[in-house]
Amino acid sequence: MKLNPQISIGNSPLLLAQPHGGTEVPEDILKRLNANGQALADTDWHITRLYAGLIDDVTVVSTPVHRYVIDTNRNPSDESLYPGQNTTGLCPLTTFDGEPIYLDGEEPDEDEIRLRQQQFHQPYHDALKEQIERLRQKHGVVILYDCHSIRSVVPYLFEGKLPDFNIGTNNGVTCDLNYQSAIEKICSAHQHYTLASNGRFKGGWTTRQYGKPEAGVHAIQMELAQCNYMQESAPWNYDMAKAESLRVVLRQLLLSLRP
């Protein structure tokens, strides 16, 4: 089964990556998941809807594949991005709460993981690389904004309640600090939201792989607390009023990044 990346072409230097909004699971994998896995709880729910139409002429690259099949924001070598901390891997075996997602004995072996990487992970990154290069050739600069969201309270992954906006630039390595400062300034101006830069989320593999300011590619991950735009439990309903308030800020953020 091949689930191709979805690409919306724009011509500004801004590129939105959305690796975790997909909910598609091939049937042969779905039937091996237990109730925890089939619930797909660790989805970046409604992320495409949240960012849709905020500004015009942006490129968007997303994958329809759910992260339980393969996490396209993880290193294909499966090396941890957060050594010593709880996290999930390239082909996750647990939820964000540390609960198994597969029926006993149905976990993928190394050969299957390699196949999933070829079928789903590589095509997503091929699409990203193609769009990054297209925009770099056109403008000389690309701003890669990696769109994410997560439940605001996940004890297995972090203590307490997550800030509303979580900026990841691998401690300033993956982008010109002027871009990070611009986002921080806008978020701080909306005092009913909280902000952290390079806290629990420093940027995943996408941000760290492609963020090379010296080559004209600036990468920023934004991890949003889902309580600000949706119900954080099943059925994961979109909250229109909260979302519209958040979209006002997100629009300002994206405008500040686009030269």
Residue 257 reports pLDDT greater than 70:
yes
Can you give the residue ranges of every domain in the chain? Answer: 6-257
Whether the pLDDT of residue 50 is over 80: the answer is yes
Q: List all residues 6 or more positions away from 102 whose beta carbon is below 8 Å from its beta carbon.
A: 32, 33, 34, 37, 93
Q: What are 55-113's pLDDT values in tens digits? A: 999 999 999 999 999 999 999 886 766 666 767 789 999 999 999 999 999 999 999 99
Rounded CA-CA distance 1/34 in Å is 21
Burial class of residue 147 (count of CB atoms within 10 Å of its CB; 0-12, 13-18, 19+): buried
Give per-residue pLDDT as tens, 211-231: 999 999 999 999 999 999 999
DSSP string, 41-99: TT--TTHHHHHTTSSSS-EEEE--B-TTT--TTS-TT---SSTTS----SS-SB-TTS-
Q: Quick one: pLDDT at residue 258?
A: 84
pLDDT of residue 80: 63
Residues 155-165: pLDDT tens digits?
Answer: 999 999 999 99
Say yes or no to pLDDT of 18 above 60.
Answer: yes
Check if the beta carbon of residue 121 is closer than 8 Å to that of residue 206: no
Q: What is the pLDDT of residue 3?
A: 82
Q: What is the pLDDT of residue 114?
A: 96
184 Cβ contact list (under 8 Å, min separation 6): 167, 195, 197
Q: 47 pLDDT exceeds 90?
A: yes
Helices vs. strands in the chain: H and E counts, helices first:
8, 7
Q: Is the pLDDT of residue 9 over 60?
A: yes
Spatial strand order of the sheet with 59-62 comes to: 6-8, 59-62, 14-18, 142-150, 217-225, 165-168, 195-197
Q: How far apart are alpha carbons 82 and 59 in whole angstroms?
A: 29
Distance CA 259, CA 248 (A): 19
Give me the pLDDT at residue 44, please.
98
Mark out the alpha helices in the chain (DSSP H runs): 27-30, 35-38, 47-51, 110-116, 122-139, 177-189, 205-210, 240-257
Question: Which CATH number describes the domain made up of 6-257?
Answer: 3.40.630.40
What average pLDDT score do residues 15-33 get? 97
- CA 215 to chain CA centroid, Å, is 23
Which pLDDT score, from 0 to 100, does residue 259 have?
74
Q: What is the tens place of the pLDDT at every residue in 149-203?
A: 999 999 999 999 999 999 999 999 999 999 999 999 999 999 999 999 999 899 9
